[in-house]
Amino acid sequence: KAGVTQTPRYLIKTRGQQVTLSCSPISGHRSVSWYQQTPGQGLQFLFEYFSETQRNKGNFPGRFSGRQFSNSRSEMNVSTLELGDSALYLCASRDRDQETQYFGPGTRLLVL
Amino acid sequence: AQSVTQLGSHVSVSEGALVLLRCNYSSSVPPYLFWYVQYPNQGLQLLLKYTSAATLVKGINGFEAEFKKSETSFHLTKPSAHMSDAAEYFCAVRVSGGYNKLIFGAGTRLAVHP
């Protein structure tokens, strides 16, 4: 099976803009989670979706949002970008009854 | 609340030497614990996981970890380091009742020198 894919891999935006990142989970996986990785804060949980419903949310401002489509693909959106949003955004998918999350290669976002 | 502490942000070993990366967790319930590895410019790859079965868990690339409840530890070891093991390693605990939510340690960067 193909792994988790994320697009785009790299992105440069300016402050105040918004951005949408995409994640395609492993075929058959219905759960998708998003994480932000920065040198200062490390890996932090953003949110999790299962069957198009957000099941869990991390401690991030409302500028961070996401959604999941009927084919389990997920997008996350960050509005009004700030310099501190520069990070590697990782998506992970999980099979229904399994504990393991499988991560994609990430999208590296640079906000100037 | 669950948490993970990785002792040592940087570890350096010689090729062929023992690798020991330390992880301590805090959890009020039996935890699910994971070790992931991250190579430069890549995502996270699962090395191994503990899910309350055997306390000694074997993973990929010769790594293993032992769950010790009395010490609340889940240290990662490899008998003989290889140059290709140089990467960043993350210990994580799955939040109980938190479905997919993982709490990660700060990571340990492993350097392997000839």
For chain A, say whether B98 makes contact (Cβ under 8 Å): yes
For A43-68, what is the mean pLDDT? Answer: 94
Query: Which of A48, A56, A103 comes nearest B43 by C-beta?
Result: A103
By the 8 A CB rule, do B88 and B38 touch? yes
- pLDDT of A1 > 80? The answer is no
Minimal CA separation from A91 to chain B, in Å: 9
* Inter-chain touch A101–B45, beta carbons under 8 Å: no
A104 touches chain B (CB under 8 A): yes
Q: Are B13 and B36 in contact (CB under 8 A)?
A: no
Q: For residues A5 and A103, what is the distance between their CA atoms, to the nearest angstrom? A: 9
- Tell me if A36 sits within 8 A of A42, measured CB to CB: no
Q: Where do we find the tokens 């785009």?
A: A8
Do A56 and B36 count as a contact with CB atoms less than 8 A apart?
A: no
How close B71 gets to chain A, by Cα (Å)? 23
Percent of chain A with pLDDT over 90: 88
The per-residue DSSP string of B20-57 comes to: EEEEEEE-SSPPEEEEEEE-TT--EEEEEEE-SS-SEE
| Contact assignment for A42 to B106 by CB distance below 8 Å | yes
pLDDT reported for residue B54: 83
Listed in sequence order, the residues at least 6 apart from A28 whose beta carbon sits closer than 8 Å to its beta carbon are A1, A95
The mean pLDDT value of chain B amounts to: 92
Are the CB atoms for B105 and B112 separated by under 8 Å?
no
List phi, psi (to 5°) of B48.
-165, 170
**Rg of chain B on CA atoms, in Å:** 13
The DSSP 8-state label assigned to residue A25 in this structure reads P
- Answer whether B102 sits within 8 Å of A56, measured CB to CB: no
Residue B87: per-residue pLDDT: 97
Amino acid at A55: R
pLDDT in tens, A80-106: 999 999 999 999 999 876 778 999 999
pLDDT tens-digit map of A19-41 = 999 999 999 999 999 999 999 99
Q: Is the pLDDT of residue B1 over 90?
A: no
Structure-token pair, residue A4: 């988790």
For residue B96, pLDDT beyond 80? no
Using one digit for the tens of pLDDT, what is the confidence trace for B27-80? 877 788 999 999 988 899 999 999 877 889 999 999 999 999 999 999 999 999
State whether residue A96 sits within 8 Å of chain B by CB: no
pLDDT at B98 over 70: no
pLDDT at B99: 67
B32 and A CB contact within 8 Å = yes
> Which residue in chain A has the smallest CA separation from B88?
A42
DSSP states of A55-94 as a string?
A: EEE-S--TTEEEEE-TTS-EEEEE-S--GGG-EEEEEEEE
The mean pLDDT of chain A is: 94
Q: Which residues pair with residue A13 across a beta bridge?
A: A111
